[in-house]
């Protein structure tokens, strides 16, 4: 999730690689967006009382009504900013990709809405239903530009109905642009198949008024 890695990690912020640099306390997203990290929440499959440094974890409110509230820290980044660590060090992630100390905003939860997929489809005149994303990579992390592919079924919606499947699509967009406005937010699925060992979070379906696709697969 781009917001977690390239937005809310104190390491990225301190190295000027965060697209939320100098945005703490400012409204950068839709007022409908609330996001927090809670490693102690037992509804998560990998709830934990300690991070990889053995520091007690804690709940951190990251985004509230679209306003960026806080970052996540480990001991090294906390010392640089003269604050307390939030207990978000993840060693396995650091070793595989970055090396050195790295705090990660995982165990994420996004506030649910009162909508559902059926309502979102019914209220869409022209749109795309995305089941999953295959991956998301940074094009320009400091600007918040990310790219990725759709996966496991992508469908064209016309006049409130699913018409037919479309090819795998590539998106390239700015995260603060496409999350600036949100039309609808649904509820968590009963089976949280999006919960994984890297970002570990619960995210309800959302309906966006705009999302930029920049290519498609040949087949």
Alpha carbon separation from 131 to 149, 154, 193 (Å, rounded): 11, 6, 11
Alpha carbon separation from 139 to 70, 174, 197 (Å, rounded): 24, 10, 23
- CA–CA gap between residue 83 and residue 211 (Å, rounded): 37
Tens digits of residue pLDDT in 133-191: 888 889 999 999 999 999 888 999 999 999 999 999 999 999 999 999 999 999 987 65
**Residues 43 and 33 sit within 8 Å (Cβ to Cβ):** no
Query: Can you give the pTM of this predicted structure?
Result: 0.90
Tens digits of residue pLDDT in 41-62: 887 767 789 998 999 999 999 9
Mean pLDDT throughout 83-111?
79
- CA–CA gap between residue 106 and residue 8 (Å, rounded): 10
Count CB atoms within 10 A of the CB of residue 64. Answer: 17
């Amino acid at each position: 999730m781009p917001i977690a890695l390239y937005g809310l990690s104190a390491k990225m912020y301190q190295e000027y690689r965060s697209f939320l640099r100098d945005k703490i306390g400012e409204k950068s997203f839709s007022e409908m967006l609330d996001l927090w990290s809670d490693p102690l929440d037992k509804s998560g499959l990998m709830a934990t009382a300690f991070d990889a440094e053995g520091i007690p974890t804690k709940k951190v409110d990251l985004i509230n009504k679209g306003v960026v509230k806080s970052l996540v820290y480990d001991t090294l980044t906390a010392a640089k900013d003269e604050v307390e660590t939030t207990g978000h060090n993840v060693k396995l992630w650091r070793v595989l990709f970055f090396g050195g100390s790295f705090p990660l905003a995982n165990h994420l939860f996004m506030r649910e809405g009162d909508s559902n997929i059926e309502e979102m489809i019914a209220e869409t005149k022209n749109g795309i239903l995305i089941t999953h994303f295959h991956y998301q990579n940074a094009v320009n992390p400091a600007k918040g530009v990310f790219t990725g592919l759709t996966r496991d079924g992508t469908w064209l919606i016309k006049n409130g109905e699913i018409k037919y499947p479309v090819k795998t699509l590539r998106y390239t967009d700015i995260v603060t642009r496409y999350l600036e406005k949100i039309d609808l937010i649904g509820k968590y699925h009963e089976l949280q198949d999006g919960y994984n060992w890297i970002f570990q979070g619960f995210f309800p379906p959302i309906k966006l008024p705009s999302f930029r696709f920049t290519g498609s697969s040949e087949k």
